[in-house]
Structure 1
Amino acid sequence: MAAKQEILNRIREACLVPVLRASSPEKAVRMARAAAEGGVIVMEVTMTVPDAVSVIRTLVKEDPQMLIGAGTVLDPETAKMCIAEGAQFVVSPALNLRTVQYCREMDIAVFPGALTPTEIVTAWQAGADVVKVFPAGAMGGAKYLRSLKAPLPQIEMIPTGGVTVDTAQDFLSAGAFGLGVGADLMDERGLENGGVTAKAREYMQVVKSFRER
């Protein structure tokens, strides 16, 4: 497994962290493949997917070049199972100190969720590599992230919630380490008509344009 800093560098380079939710393991794997076809190289498989651990195992074996992480991880026991199957980073919608501590002991990148300045600083001081700002859209989107980064430039943040093709550029400009993208990209309805792949390409174009700026 790659070193943690290399994982973090690759996520920063990719900018995009699709949040994979699906009604079945089979659909989850299909959605991941469709997003990869559109250029996605990072994937967060949430524990809300039925048999999510098997999905992580399948995706890790299928494409060793793609970074597969575990999402919606609420405790260290779940983190341990996911890491054993090859998960290279761990994400949570909230802050669980035991999970952060376990990931640090295992030298695995960990992105706990937080929302307010106090929560974000607490997560960072606990050892978060990056703080997932969730739900960012409910707090004003990119403007909120920019307000957070002004006094806290040393804390890396991944906004999740409210990130769309239309808002992605603003979030990146506001200082996002990367973008947690959910239903706007990872929508099961896009499986049958190529929509997931097409939307992934749109996001990759936004990232490309941002870098060129």
Structure 2
Amino acid sequence: MMNNNHLLDRMVSSGIVAVIRKVDPEKVKPLVEAFIDGGVTGIEITMDSEVPLQVIAEVKEEFGDKAVIGAGTVMNKEEAEMAISAGADFIFAPILSKETVEYTKEQDVIMIPGVFTPTEMYIADQWGADMVKIFPANVLGPKFLKDVSGPLSHIQMMPTGGVNLENVHSFMEAGAVAAGIGGSLVHRSLIEQEDWSALQELAKKYVEKAGLVKV
């Protein structure tokens, strides 16, 4: 079993974590395959999706050696517990819950809570979070990341929410280690059309944009 640091490094190595929310469970596997073939190294299945635990388990079994697979929109300790039991490599939350952070770390699983202020970033770090999810990132913008990364340079940041092909480069330039990409990558009409090659190309574009400023 890989340790957390290796998993974390691997998850962010492409600069992109795909946020798969409420996609038809039948289409998740080909979608994940398209993203992985496009270079994406982090796959998040949100807990408000249909049969999320089953999907996490299946995706982890099939693609766990090619990407880091985890759960998103985890609202509390109970959901974290279920997701970890299903095999989630990481827990992403839109909020900051001490109980969820501490439980997840006790299980030796990557924990990335959602934060919106420097104080929340600091608290998340104190509680043991591996990284923070700046959410919703489009409200704060790249300049926020750049400014807070001065005094809080030891805290790794992943902007999520409203990050797209036009602004992902700016977020990475401002100090993000990776970006969580939802609807602009997990493209509804392309999924409906089952245009997996177009989705693979889209993933590739995101990875290239994110990689422009990677050290």
| Larger CA deviation: 192-201 vs 58-67 | 192-201
Report the equivalent of 2:20: 20
Report the equivalent of 2:40: 40
Unaligned runs of 5+ in 1: none
Q: Secondary structure at the match of 1:166?
A: coil
Report the equivalent of 1:111: 112
Moved over 4 A (4+): none
CA contact (8 A) 1:28 1:49 kept: no
Measure how far apart 1:190 and its partner are: 1.6
Q: Secondary structure at the match of 1:165?
A: coil
Measure how far apart 1:154 and its partner are: 1.0
Q: Give percent identity, aligned residues only.
A: 36
1:13 and 1:95 map into 2 onto residues whose CA distance is 25
TM alignment of 1:36-115, pairs within 5 A: 36-65=36-65, 66-115=67-116
| Larger CA deviation: 197-206 vs 186-195 | 186-195
- 1:148 paired with 2:148, answer yes
| Aligned AA (2:136) | P
Report the equivalent of 2:201: 198
CA contact (8 A) 1:145 1:174 kept: yes
Measure how far apart 1:165 and its partner are: 1.3
| Aligned AA (1:137) | N
Measure how far apart 1:41 and its partner are: 2.2
1:56-91: CA deviation from partner (whole Å, max 9, x where unpaired):
011011122121011001111211111122111110
Measure how far apart 1:107 and its partner are: 1.0
- Provide the TM-score with structure 1 as the length reference: 0.93
Q: Secondary structure at the match of 2:12?
A: helix
1:149-204: CA deviation from partner (whole Å, max 9, x where unpaired):
12211111111112111211111111112111111101221222343222101012
2:162 and 2:175 map into 1 onto residues whose CA distance is 16
| Larger CA deviation: 31-40 vs 101-110 | 31-40
Measure how far apart 1:116 and its partner are: 1.1
Aligned-residue Cα RMSD (Å) equals 1.5
1:104-162: CA deviation from partner (whole Å, max 9, x where unpaired):
111111000010111111111111110100001012x1111112212211111111112
Q: Secondary structure at the match of 1:164?
A: coil
CA contact (8 A) 2:12 2:41 kept: no
Q: Secondary structure at the match of 2:167?
A: helix
1:7 and 1:77 map into 2 onto residues whose CA distance is 23
CA contact (8 A) 2:14 2:211 kept: no
2:199 and 2:43 map into 1 onto residues whose CA distance is 13
Equivalences, count:
211
Q: 1:162 to 1:90 in 2, by over 3 A?
A: same
Q: Secondary structure at the match of 1:57?
A: helix
2:29 and 2:148 map into 1 onto residues whose CA distance is 35
| Aligned AA (2:42) | V
Measure how far apart 1:31 and its partner are: 2.3
1:118 and 1:210 map into 2 onto residues whose CA distance is 27
CA contact (8 A) 1:27 1:188 kept: no
- Provide the TM-score with structure 2 as the length reference: 0.92
CA contact (8 A) 2:114 2:132 kept: yes
Q: Secondary structure at the match of 1:14?
A: coil
| Aligned AA (2:40) | V
